[in-house]
């Protein structure tokens, strides 16, 4: 629980056997439900995730590979069914800093936002670790997403580190979610 609210974290994963246990272990203790959605991995990701035996862990597996957006939607549906009041997304590759989860969840719990989104460019070292083509691509996609969505303050549209309340999940799940890597843009325009 976080400020008296039930919290879920959805972890979409595809062939993350080497990193999934570290990801699950890193999720803060205030999270009530951890929902790993294995998108038909061939490397034992689901089996390794189950072995972590974290309190509140559930591992769901797609029967066929459907894409990261579809994995997140599967997790959102389950989190809503579990009664989560705020649902965050953390990738299975352990690249999202769990220390930042409280800030994202806090923005939603406080009522400042229905949907909060991380910004990788707020980290000073991003230009040293993100390849130039990805930096340029992210800048272009973020600019186009700002135009399409009206979120003029948005800087990193492609960041998947998010938190959403039930109202935002209802809006997201009202129609089909873009199943592959274009899902962040789809969700923002929908919201």
User: Does the global pTM surpass 0.75?
Assistant: yes
* Mean of pLDDT values over 6-12: 98
The per-type count for the chain, helices as H runs and strands as E runs, is 8, 6
Please give the Cα distance from 36 to 60 (Å, whole number).
6
pLDDT, tens digit, 9 for 90 and up, residues 44-101: 999 999 999 899 999 999 999 999 999 999 999 999 999 999 999 999 998 889 999 9
Residue 121 three-state SS: helix
Average pLDDT score over residue span 10-32: 97
């Amino acid at each position: 629980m976080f400020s008296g609210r039930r919290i879920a974290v959805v972890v979409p994963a595809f062939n993350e056997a080497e990193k999934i246990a570290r990801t699950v272990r890193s999720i803060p203790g205030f999270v009530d439900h951890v929902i790993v959605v294995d998108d038909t991995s061939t490397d034992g990701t689901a089996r390794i995730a189950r072995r972590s035996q974290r309190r509140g862990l559930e591992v769901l597996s797609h029967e066929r590979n459907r894409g990261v957006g579809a994995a997140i939607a599967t997790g959102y549906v389950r989190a809503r069914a579990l009664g989560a009041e705020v649902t965050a997304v953390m990738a299975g590759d352990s690249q999202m800093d769990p220390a930042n989860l409280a800030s994202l969840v806090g923005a939603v719990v406080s009522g400042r936002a229905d949907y909060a989104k991380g910004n990788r460019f707020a980290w000073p070292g991003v230009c040293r670790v993100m390849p130039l083509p990805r930096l340029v691509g992210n800048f272009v996609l973020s600019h186009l997403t700002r135009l399409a969505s009206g979120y003029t303050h948005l800087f990193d549209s492609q960041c998947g580190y998010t938190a959403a309340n039930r109202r935002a999940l209802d809006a997201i799940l009202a129609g089909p979610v873009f199943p592959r890597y274009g899902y962040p843009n789809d969700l923002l325009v929908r919201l």
